[in-house]
Structure 1
Amino acid sequence: MAYDEELAERIRDLIEPGPDVTEKKMFGGLAFLIGGNMAVAASRQGGLLVRVDPAEGDALIDGDSVAPMIMGGREMNGWLRVTSAALPDDTTLREWVDRGVGYARSLPAKR
């Protein structure tokens, strides 16, 4: 399954463009990077992948629409999977995008 192109466009509309913002196809989805650090992605499995402060990740998990990202059978600390159903409007999507972008901006830029 390919990533949701409509969701990718909604994300694109919410991220302020700049020289440090790039898009890259990763893991079958479309990732949005800030300074080379992935912030959010339209997932090939549907929904959104969001990078968050690992210290805050557990508090955001609700076990239904927000869950830890699992890769290779293991939970990825600081990465969340948000279902499409949990992103009904741009206000909700903006909250998640802003969270991911904010965390990615707090990290040192990759060269």
Structure 2
Amino acid sequence: MAYNEKLADRVRARFAGLRNVEEKKMMGGLTFMYNGKMCVGIIKDDLMCRIDPALHEDSIARTGCRTMDFTNRPMSGFIMVDERGMKTQKDFDYWIDLALDFNKKAKPSKKKK
């Protein structure tokens, strides 16, 4: 499954000043790990953001945003944003900022042994 390279470049540019960023191909797209924790990703043409679950309902009420339902299991705190929700740089930065803010308190995934 391909992912939107232009969107990946937008994320790379936004993360350029950060340390401890790692790109991983997963979920059929590209995921950006920050400080060892999943932060944002790109699946096809959509931006996936890991946000504070307390902000989930308000977030999905915004234009272009929906709950991530990748395996028919909706996940609170994981959202998908389509191009309508990130047309402007201000909109794009809003979603990235939400993900970066939550990353500070997010728990890292358990390491597989």
Shift of 1:17: 2.6
Gaps of 5+ in 2: none
What's the RMSD between the two structures over aligned residues? Answer: 1.8
Instruction: Provide the rounded CA distance (Å) in 1 between the counterparts of 2:64 and 2:78.
Output: 14
Q: Displacement, 1:62?
A: 2.0
What is residue 12 of structure 2 aligned with on the other side? 12
Rounded to whole Å, the distance in 1 between the matches of 2:63 and 2:87 is 15
Runs of 4+ displaced beyond 6 Å: none
For the 8 Å contact 2:21–2:34, the answer to whether it is kept is yes
Query: Which structure features the higher share of strand residues?
Result: 1
Which residue does the alignment assign to 1:105?
104
Higher relative contact order (CA 8 A, sep 6+): 1
- Normalization by structure 2: what TM-score? 0.86
Aligned twin of 2:95: 96
Share of identical aligned residues, percent? 30
Counterparts of 1:87 and 1:59, CA distance in 2? 16
TM-score (norm 1): 0.87
Kindly tell me the number of residue pairs found equivalent between the two proteins. Answer: 109
| CA–CA distance in structure 2, aligned partners of residues 109 and 71 of structure 1 | 20
Which range is displaced more, 97-106 or 49-58? Answer: 97-106
Q: Which moved more, 1:63-72 or 1:53-62?
A: 63-72
